[in-house]
C-alpha cells in the first residue's frame, strides 16, 4: 500500500525559501523524503538554509540564487533542478514582496507594479517553466502561498493583498487549465511569525493574538503541514482551492 505522505524520490522547487513559510515547507518536504531546490536573493542565507536542510551533504537540498521575478534566474533554477535530479514533481510559489504600506491613494505606483510582478506574474512564469520542464508530461502538483488578505479588504497593505487576491484567482484558472495531470492549490495564512510579517506583530504579539480564537499567531510549521498535504497524494481530488489557515481570526472579523 502506497503512503501518500511519503515524498521519497520526489523533487520540489520552493521559491523564497531560506526562512519563514518557505523554509518550513522545505523542511517538511525533506523530512518526508523529498529532495528540494530552494531559491532566494542572498547567497549567505541560501548556504545556511541548505546546510540546515541537508546536514549530511548528501544532495537532498540545493539552491539557486536570484530575484523571483528575474527570467534568467527562473530558467536557470529550473535547469539546475533538472540537471541535478532529472525531475520536478512539486513547485511551491512562496516568494513575495511588500514594499507598500498605507492607503493606496498614497501608494507609489512603481512599488505596486513591483508587487504584482513578483507576487503574481512571476508565479505564472515559474509555473509555466515547471510545466514545460516536467509537469506537462509527467504530472505533479503546485502550491501557491496566498494570504487571508486576498480574501477581504481593509488592511493597510492593500497592494500586497490585491496581489494575493489575484494569486487566488490565478490558482483557480490554472487548475482548470492544468488538470487532470497537475493539481494546483493555495494556502491563505493570517499572521505567521516570520521576519517577513514582523511589522504586523512585533512588540505587540499578545495584543494581535488576542483577536484570534486560538489566541496565538501561526508558525511556519503550521503552514508547512497544510502545504505538504495539498502537494501530496492524500489531496488527490483537490485542485483550484485556497485553504484558509488563520487560527480562526476570519471568524472574528479580523484580517
Higher pLDDT, 200 or 15: 15
Please tell me the distance from the alpha carbon of residue 194 to that of residue 191, in angstroms, as a whole number: 8
Please tell me the distance from the alpha carbon of residue 167 to that of residue 132, in angstroms, as a whole number: 20
What's the chain's Rg over C-alpha atoms? Answer: 17
User: CB–CB of 186/144 below 8 Å?
Assistant: yes
Q: Could you confirm whether 160 is annotated as catalytic?
A: yes
Domain boundaries, the chain: 11-245
Beta strands in the chain (DSSP E): 11-14, 35-40, 61-65, 90-93, 140-145, 182-189, 242-245
Give the whole-number percent of the chain exceeding pLDDT 70.
96
The pLDDT tens digits for 147-179 are 999 999 888 999 999 999 999 999 999 999 999
The model's pTM is 0.94
Mean pLDDT value of segment 46-71: 97
C-alpha cell of residue 111 = 512599488
Please tell me the distance from the alpha carbon of residue 14 to that of residue 95, in angstroms, as a whole number: 8
Beta strands in 111-195 (DSSP E): 140-145, 182-189
85, 101, 160, 201: the active-site residue: 160
CATH architecture of 11-245: 3-Layer(aba) Sandwich (3.40)
Which helix (DSSP H) or strand (DSSP E) does residue 186 occupy?
strand 182-189
Mean pLDDT computed over every residue of the chain: 94
Amino acid at each position: 500500500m502506497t503512503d501518500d505522505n511519503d515524498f521519497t524520490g520526489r523533487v520540489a522547487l520552493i521559491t523564497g525559501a531560506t526562512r519563514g513559510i518557505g523554509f518550513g515547507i522545505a523542511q517538511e518536504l525533506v523530512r518526508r523524503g523529498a529532495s528540494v531546490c530552494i531559491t532566494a536573493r542572498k547567497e549567505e542565507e541560501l548556504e545556511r538554509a541548505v546546510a540546515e536542510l541537508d546536514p549530511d551533504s548528501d544532495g537532498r537540498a540545493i539552491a539557486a540564487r536570484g530575484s523571483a521575478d528575474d527570467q534568467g534566474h527562473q530558467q536557470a533554477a529550473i535547469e539546475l533542478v533538472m540537471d541535478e535530479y532529472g525531475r520536478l514533481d512539486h513547485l511551491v510559489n512562496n516568494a513575495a514582496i511588500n514594499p507598500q504600506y498605507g492607503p493606496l491613494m498614497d501608494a507609489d505606483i512603481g512599488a505596486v507594479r513591483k508587487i504584482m510582478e513578483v507576487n503574481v506574474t512571476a508565479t505564472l512564469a515559474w509555473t509555466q517553466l515547471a510545466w514545460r520542464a516536467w509537469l506537462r508530461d509527467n504530472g505533479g502538483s503546485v502550491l501557491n502561498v496566498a494570504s487571508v488578505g486576498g480574501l477581504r479588504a481593509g488592511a493597510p497593505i492593500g497592494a500586497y493583498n490585491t496581489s494575493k487576491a489575484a494569486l487566488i484567482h490565478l490558482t483557480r484558472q490554472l487548475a482548470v487549465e492544468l488538470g487532470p495531470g497537475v493539481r494546483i492549490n493555495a494556502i491563505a495564512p493570517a499572521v505567521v511569525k516570520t521576519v517577513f510579517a514582523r511589522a504586523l506583530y512585533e512588540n505587540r504579539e499578545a495584543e494581535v493574538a488576542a483577536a484570534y480564537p486560538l489566541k496565538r499567531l501561526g508558525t511556519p510549521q503550521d503552514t508547512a503541514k497544510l502545504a505538504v498535504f495539498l502537494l501530496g497524494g492524500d489531496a488527490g481530488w483537490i485542485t483550484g482551492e485556497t485553504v484558509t489557515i488563520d487560527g480562526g481570526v476570519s471568524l472574528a472579523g479580523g484580517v
